[in-house]
Amino acid sequence: MSGLLGMLSLAARSLDAQRYGLDVVGQNIANVNTAGYTKRVTELAAMPATDRWSAGGGVEIVGARAMRDRLIDRRVREEFSAQQRDSAVSQQLGVVEVAVGQAGASLDAALDDFFDAFARLADTPISASAREEVVQQGQALASAFGDVATRLTSAQRDVDLQVRASVEQVNAIASRIASLNAKLAGTSPSTPEGAHLRDEVNRAVEELAGLVGLNTIEREHGGFDIETVSGRPLVIGERAYPLGLTEDAQGLAQITSSDGTVITGGISSGALGGLLNVRDRHLPDYLARLDQLAFDVAQGVNTLHQTGYDLNGNTGTAFYAPVALQGAASSMAVNPLLTAAGGGSLVAASGTSGVAGDTAIARALAKLREAPVSNGGSATAAEAWSQIVYRVGRDRDDARAGEATQAQVLRQIQNLQDAVSGVSLDEEAADMMRFQRAYEANARFFTTIDEVLDTLIAMVR
Amino acid sequence: MTTDLGPAAYTTRLRAALDALGDALAAPAVESLTAAEASLAAVLAEFSQLSLNTIPDGARAGLLAEVSAARRALARARRLGEALSSVVHATLEAQGRFTGYDRRGDEPVHAPAGAFGARG
């Protein structure tokens, strides 16, 4: 098709191609603020020469195709899952932080009041009111332990409700993606409708990744097959595989895959992973530490109290009712013999039988405040409580920092792509290598820094 | 020079250097990344001269807080570095280039020219 007609045809195709390119640019500009919109790029291909005397056939439009680097999209989804996990942990631990209160104004205040009551009893050992006050402060301390345990358990139940709601959301989104897969299967990916559906399915997958960590496999027409990180299917083609719920012995929701297998332990990212982390790891840890503290205090007080003598000269009884380690905080209670009418006389303040003025045991119980009764004999009760409060705060700070870092990672990936776009592939590769080498030069110090920080921590503890 | 400051002060410097590295990675800015390397090397050299035998009781809480902050800064730099590396690898692999070294430590081996330009 050489000759004038051929040249005119070639020029017309070139003009069409350029006009189409401008349309695509206009579309990109119009959607610059549209969430989930993927920039389209015009792909032009050289037309082959039709005969030996022609230099070539000009250009033709291959089609507008969503410019997505699948590997980077996958990475972005992973980071989004991690960010949502940290966000959920941070949010829930904020509630827990309020539940445990501030150091100096919660359980430690009740501990102080309790030991102060014994100090006052040491000053007036036969005073009935001083004895009653010891019993009352003992009850107040047990109530304070119980209140904190109740607040932590209540926080665990609240998180559990959110786990259940999140599973419903996962199923709803998976069902939507299956439906979009069906639509995409019958649509050409290079048409505007195909591109729109691809944006929609990408948004849905990102939303799902925010709830639960995913593995995705892109389908031929732009849809996705999706499974959980532990390999349980959520969407395959046009069919969704809903997650189920069952309950464990504590009444907490356990998540099952479509075949009924419990997969709760395999969900560690996304908001759902964060909620499960708080419900099944953080809160049980805090409760166990609280139980240990309550158990240690009750044991320490009982051991001393039982070496003393009450107002009637009898050997002291247990101040606190016997308590098991598990659930100690919620079940701690003063011995009913002491809370009964006149029970104050059973408080063992004396170290010598029949000598009511002896206050050796009352003084020893007051000094228990400074004794390392907790954490295997390494911390006072108040210090052990401070460590629990500190741990909650530190865990929340870690989650907040993690959330902020994940947000920076998402921006970083975008910035990195922007920084190298618009240059040749060779320049892009060279720039990327410079970033990589500069990072590696810093990363060689990381192991040493780890060691330095470990050494410092070992010295502080 | 190092005897005037306690471990907490040096840990604060370490955290600041790690924060600067994290910021350089987040931007990402290659010149700042290069500068961060020199800062880290300097801070670690100071640590090597520091006597870490005892910590005064009064300094423990402050040091613990600084170490926690430094650990978070290190974790941040690691996460940002991993993400940067993954994008670099993904980009180079999509272009048909390899990012490693050969046995002799030479520069990355390039794929055949025909592999380039296959982006999209």
What would the DSSP string read from start to end of A218-253? E-TTS-EEEEETTS-EEEETTEE---EEEE-TTS-E
Chain B residue with CA closest to A458: the answer is: B64
Q: Cβ contacts (< 8 Å) between B94 and chain A: which residues?
A: 69, 71
Chain B residue with CA closest to A452: the answer is: B47
A&B contacts, CB < 8 Å: 152
Q: Which comes out higher in pLDDT, residue A345 or B56?
A: A345
pLDDT at A370: 93
Q: Cβ contacts (< 8 Å) between B84 and chain A: which residues?
A: 412, 416, 435-436, 439
Q: Cβ contacts (< 8 Å) between B120 and chain A: which residues?
A: 41, 43, 65, 67
- The tens place of each residue's pLDDT in chain B, 120 residues long, gives 444 567 888 899 999 999 999 999 998 888 999 999 999 999 998 887 776 666 666 777 788 888 989 999 999 999 999 988 888 887 777 666 665 554 554 544 444 433 333 332
> H/E/C letters for each residue in A59-128?
EEEEEEEECCCHHHHHHHHHHHHHHHHHHHHHHHHHHHHHHHCCCCCCHHHHHHHHHHHHHHHHHCCCCH
Q: Cβ contacts (< 8 Å) between A394 and chain B: which residues?
A: 68
For residue range A432-446, list pLDDT tens digits in order. Answer: 888 899 999 999 999
Least confident of A294-298, A306-310, B25-29: B25-29
Write the residue in B11, B33, B94 that is nearest to A438 by C-beta. B33
Q: How confident is the model at residue A357 (pLDDT cuts 50, 70, 90)?
A: confident
Chain B residue with CA closest to A409: the answer is: B80
pLDDT above 80 (res A53) = no
- Asked if the ipTM is above 0.95, the reply is no
Least confident of A12-16, A114-118, B62-66: A12-16
CB atoms within 10 A of CB A72: 18
Q: How many Å apart are CA A151 and CA A234, to the nearest integer?
A: 35
Does this model's pTM top 0.90? My answer is no
Whether the CB of A433 is below 8 Å from some CB of chain B: the reply is: yes
pLDDT at B108: 47
pLDDT at A75: 78
pLDDT at B8: 84
Across chain A, mean pLDDT equals 85
Mutate to test the interface with A, among B51, B60, B91, B109 (most CBs of A within 10 A): B91
For residue range A372-431, list pLDDT tens digits in order. Answer: 998 888 899 999 998 899 899 989 998 999 889 988 998 888 777 666 655 566 777 788
Using only C-alpha atoms, chain B has a radius of gyration, in whole angstroms, of 20
Q: How many Å apart are CA A198 and CA A181, to the nearest integer?
A: 9
Q: Cβ contacts (< 8 Å) between B88 and chain A: which residues?
A: 432-433, 435-436
CB contact under 8 A, A401 and B77: no
Average pLDDT of the residues in A49-68:
47
Count of alpha carbons within 13 angstroms of residue B26, beta-carbon side? 16
Q: How many Å apart are CA B118 and CA B98, to the nearest integer?
A: 15
Average pLDDT of the residues in A328-347:
95
Chain B residue with CA closest to A407: the answer is: B26
Q: How far is A389 from chain B (nearest CA, A)?
A: 14
Q: Which comes out higher in pLDDT, residue A55 or A320?
A: A320
Q: CA dihedral defined by A181, A184, A185, A187, rounded to 10 degrees?
A: 170
pLDDT above 80 (res A66) = no
pLDDT at A121: 95
For residue range A269-286, list pLDDT tens digits in order. Answer: 999 999 999 999 999 999
Q: Which comes out higher in pLDDT, residue A303 or A419?
A: A303
Average pLDDT of the residues in A225-237:
93
pLDDT at A55: 55
pLDDT above 70 (res A233) = yes
pLDDT at B119: 33
Q: How many Å apart are CA A213 and CA A263, to the nearest integer?
A: 13
Chain B residue with CA closest to A417: the answer is: B87
Average pLDDT of the residues in A36-51:
54
pLDDT above 80 (res A140) = yes
pLDDT above 80 (res A331) = yes
CB contact under 8 A, B7 and A79: no
pLDDT at A361: 95
pLDDT above 80 (res A204) = yes
Q: Cβ contacts (< 8 Å) between B90 and chain A: which residues?
A: 69, 71-72, 75
Q: How confident is the model at residue A13 (pLDDT cuts 50, 70, 90)?
A: low
Q: How many Å apart are CA A246 and CA A264, to the nearest integer?
A: 10
